[in-house]
Structure formats: structure tokens, C-alpha cells
Amino acid sequence: MLRLGTREFAPDEPVIMAIVNRTPDSFYDQGATYREEAALDRVEQAVAEGAAIIDVGGVKAGPGEEVDAAEEIRRTAGFVARVRERHPSVVISVDTWRHEVAEEVCAAGADLLNDAWGGVDPRLAEVAAKHGVGLVCTHAGGARPRTRPHRVAYADVMADILRVTVGLAERAVSLGVRRDGVLIDPGHDFGKSTRHSLEATRRLGEMTATGWPVLVSLSNKDFVGETLDLPVRQRLLGTLATTAISAWLGARVYRVHEVAETRQVLDMVASIAGHRPPAVARRGLA
């Protein structure tokens, strides 16, 4: 069982995490949800389309203008409080690697800390334990926050992913984070080449076999763009293909920009797998 906030998710239930960037320079939407009202509209749309988790980010993942902890808090904490007020049952996640930010967003009502940089601030897990919230433990290949990979190499990329993410998950539980609130993430693109991210997808079953619920953040990423030689705005089909493979291999949570399209893919895979009945089943019965 996966338990986040007030929600419990069954073992075969795929969960959509919708991305809401409170940044003026995000790689995908170029600041479309930087203004608070636009971001709130995005939350309403995502929930209506089937997102169970809203993932709020206050700092662009890639290189760019410096954003200190105080500015990240300004962009996220008050917004979390507004989302909490409007949507009492939605799971609110915050994408941050800083424990100072984590303290403020948890106080404002966050249910999950999405640590995309692989435990670079070890105190983040302590904050999760203190506030009784969930934690995403990600493989970033030892990369520092907001850096791009350069000539990165692994003897066995999945072995390294498993060593790091399972280690971070076990450490979190030892600190007092609830076991049913911990997820592991292979960290597509983070500290990886395109070939590494493709291999991580191909071998995702090795992660799901650990028993820890697996989160994948695939949406419109560079490994999709490089594989198909397409710009950001033309990566949806490649993203959805990768989503289908990840679902078949047992991923539980999907961090996405396009919620409605992802919902259809996940529902179709779940029905093929026998976990979900068809919405309508009239053919051949009349």
C-alpha cells in the first residue's frame, strides 16, 4: 500500500502526479504557471483530468538564474497553502532538495517531498520524518543540483540506481519516514546520458522488484527528444510510449505535464494487464 497525505493507493492503482512549475524559466512551459492565479488554474485542470498528486516546483532543474532558499520558499510555501485550502484531499508534493524549503512547505500543508537530486541535502529526509510526510528518493548519479551531465559513465547503470535509491529509502525509514510513504525514482536525464535513461526504462522491472513503489518522471525530457530528434513541444508521443512501457513494468507514480493523455495510456495498460475492466464492454454481446 502507498499512503500519501489522506490518500491510500492500491498496489495496482497507477497514480498521476501533475507538474506545476512556479518558475519563470521552466524548460517546458517557459513560465506559463509562474503567476499564482495561472498556477491555481493549472491545479484545477489537472485535478479534473485525474491527477491525484500536484507537484509544485520553485526552481528550474537545469542551469539558469540563481534562486536562493528564500526565493524558493516565496514561490512555493504560500501557494501550497492555497492549494491545500482549495483541495483538502489532493496530495501536494514539492520538488525541492533543500531542507529549509522543506520545513516551510510542510508547515504550509505539503504531503510529499520530491527530492530529485538524490539526497544532496541529507537533512531533507529528517524534515520528512519530523513532519510525517512522504519522500521520493531519486538517483542523480552524484550530480550537484542544477547541473547537466558531462561524460558520465557507469559500469552498470541499473545497479547504481538500485544501490543509491534503495539506500536512500532505507535511510529515510531508519530516520522515521513512514515506509508506506517512500518512493524510489530512477532519475531519467539526471546524471545520465540518453542511453542510460533508455536502459533504466528497459530494466525498470528490476526497480519494481525491490518492493519499493517506483515513480517515473519522463515527461518531455531530453532523452525522449534525443531518441526521436524532436524539440520539447513534439515529445508527447515518445513520452506516452515510455509511459506505457513503464506501466507494464510496474511503475506506480507518473510525474507528467499532460494529465489527460497520460490517464488514457495508464487506463489502457491497466486494462490489458487485467487490473481494470473496460469502461464499456458491449462489443459481441448484443
User: Does the active-site annotation cover 130?
Assistant: no
Spell out a b/e string for 51-70, using b for 16 or more CB atoms within 10 Å of the CB, else e. Answer: bbbbbbbbbbbeeeeebebe
From CA 73, how far away is CA 67, in angstroms rounded? 10
> What residue has cell string 507537484?
55
Side chain identity at 269, as an amino acid letter? Answer: V
Read off the C-alpha cell for 101: 524549503
Among residues 22, 42, 252, 255, which one is catalytic? 255
Among residues 192, 221, 235, 252, which one is catalytic? 221
For residue 215, what are the β-bridge partners? 253
Phi and psi, residue 197, nearest 5°:
-65, -35
For residue 185, what are the β-bridge partners? 138
User: Does the active-site annotation cover 202?
Assistant: no
Q: What three-state secondary structure class fits 56?
A: strand
User: What kind and span of H or E run contains 80?
Assistant: helix 69-86
Read off the C-alpha cell for 193: 546520458
Q: What is the CA radius of gyration of the chain?
A: 18
What's the CA dihedral at 245, 247, 253, 259 to 10 degrees? Answer: 80
Q: How many CB atoms lie within 10 A of CB 48?
A: 10
Active site residues: 221, 255
